[in-house]
Amino acid sequence: MSFKFDLLEESKESQARLGKIHTPHGEINTPVFMPVGTQANVKTLEPRELVEIGSEIILSNTYHLYLRPGNEIVKKAGGLHSFMNWNKPILTDSGGFQVFSLGDLNEISEEGVKFQSHIDGSYHFMRPEDSINIQNDLGADIIMAFDECAPYPTDYDYAIEAMERTHRWAERSKNAHKREDQALFGIVQGAFYKDLRIESAKALRDMDFPGYSIGGLSVGEPKDIMYDMLEATVPYMPNEKPRYLMGVGSPDCLIEGVIRGIDMFDCVLATRIARHAKAMTHNGPVTIKNLQYADDFTPLDAECDCHVCKTYTRAYIRHLFKAKEMLAGKLVSYHNIYFLHQLMDNLKAAIKGGYIYEFRNEFFKKYYGDINFIK
C-alpha cells in the first residue's frame, strides 16, 4: 500500500491524537507542521537543511508550478522529488486558492475557472481535471481536489453555492485522478457557517477519500471563528483518516488546532516573517533588527539548540539585516522552522503524557504573556 494512516493514540482530555502517515517517500509522524516550498523551494533553504531541521514533509503549489516552470518540465525532470532533490514526502495543493486570490480577474463557471496570471497577465482556464493532471505530473505523495475557496466574509447563499460546486468538483477530481502512488484528499468548505461545514464534511466523507483537508479558514476571519468551525466540523470527519487544516502556522493556531483533532498544518508564516527579521522564540517573537539587539551577544533563542542558535548571536544577525545581507533571512528562516518542528514534538509529548492543556497554558503565558490568549 502506497498510502496508509495509522491512528496510534488519542488524548483522553481533548480531541488531539498521535498518528503516522505512510507514503511512497517515507513516514510522517502526526501532528505535523509542513514548511511551504511554494515554487519547489522553501525560501532561502536547501533540502539538506530541511532534513537537518527535522522536516518530514513539505508543500508545493500547483498554481505557481503550472505557470512556472510548467508541469511538463517538472514531469520531464522525473517529478518534483527529482526536480528539487527532496527525497521525503511532498504535498501539493490544488491551485484553487491561488486561482481565486492571486488572479487579477477570474470567472467562475461550473466547468472551471478562467484566470489571469499574476506573472505576465496571460489568461488560463483550470478545471478540476486540469488541476489533477498537473498534480499527477508533479508527482507529490499527497494531492488535493480542486475546490472553490470562499472569502471572508461571505453571505450564506454564496457559501452554499461555493460548497456545492466544491463537492461536484471533488467528484470530478476523483474521477480524473490516475496515479495509485498519490493519495487524493478532499477539501471541506462551507465558509463560516457551522451547518454548511457539517454538511460538507458528511458529503466528502461519503466520497471516501484517503484523507481530508479543511479549506477556507485562516483567510482573515477572527481566530475564535476558526476554532468554532473546527469544533463543528472535525466530529463529522472520519476518525481513521488524516485531517489537514490548510494555511495555518502560527504557534497559537497550531496548538489549538491539535487540541481540536487536526493532524497536519502548513503555512508560509515562518519564512515570511523571518525575511522581515522576526524570530519565534520560547519567550515570544523578537524583531531582531531593533536597536536593542545591536550589542546583544546572546543566541537568538537561549532555549533553542538549532544550528543558528548554537552558532550566531543576535548582534550578528541584526548586523546582517541592517547590511541587507541575504544570509540574515536564511538564518532566521532556519530557526523559525526548527522552532515549529520542536513545538509539534512537544505537543506529541503532551498528548502522550496527558498534559496538553497544561502545556498550552504554559506556552501561552511564556510566548504571548497571557494564559488566556484566545482559547
Q: Which domains does the chain have, with CATH numbers?
A: 4-267 (3.20.20.105), 278-367 (no CATH)
Residues of the chain predicted below pLDDT 70: 1, 102-105, 371-375
Cell (9 digits) for 159: 457559501
- For residue 1, the model assigns a pLDDT of 57
- For residue 82, the model assigns a pLDDT of 98
Q: Is 266 a catalytic residue?
A: yes
pLDDT in tens, 43-66: 999 999 999 999 999 999 999 999
Q: Please identify which of the residues 6, 93, 195, 252 carries the catalytic annotation.
A: 93
List CB contacts of 70: < 8 A, sequence separation 6 or more.
none
Of 287, 313, 303, 308, nearest to 342 (Cα)?
Answer: 303
Question: Contacts from 340-344 at CB under 8 Å and sequence distance 24+?
Answer: 340/33, 340/249, 340/251, 340/254, 340/270, 340/280, 341/33, 341/53, 341/54, 341/55, 342/304, 343/33, 343/251, 343/254, 343/255, 344/31, 344/32, 344/33, 344/254, 344/258
Per DSSP, which regions of 210-297 are E strands? 211-214, 243-245, 264-267, 278-279, 286-287
Q: Is 305 a catalytic residue?
A: no
- For residue 105, the model assigns a pLDDT of 66
User: What percent of the chain stands above pLDDT 70?
Assistant: 97
Q: What is the edge-to-edge ordering of all strands in the sheet holding 123-126? A: 106-108, 113-116, 123-126
Segments in the chain forming alpha helices (H): 47-53, 62-67, 71-76, 80-84, 96-101, 128-138, 156-176, 194-207, 223-233, 251-259, 269-274, 307-311, 314-322, 327-353, 356-367
- For residue 371, the model assigns a pLDDT of 67
- For residue 96, the model assigns a pLDDT of 81
List CB contacts of 370: < 8 A, sequence separation 6 or more.
364
Task: Give burial (CB, 10 Å; 0-12/13-18/19+) of 120.
Answer: exposed
Q: Please identify which of the residues 130, 137, 266, 301 carries the catalytic annotation.
A: 266
C-beta neighbour count of 110 within 10 angstroms: 8
Task: Give burial (CB, 10 Å; 0-12/13-18/19+) of 69.
Answer: middle
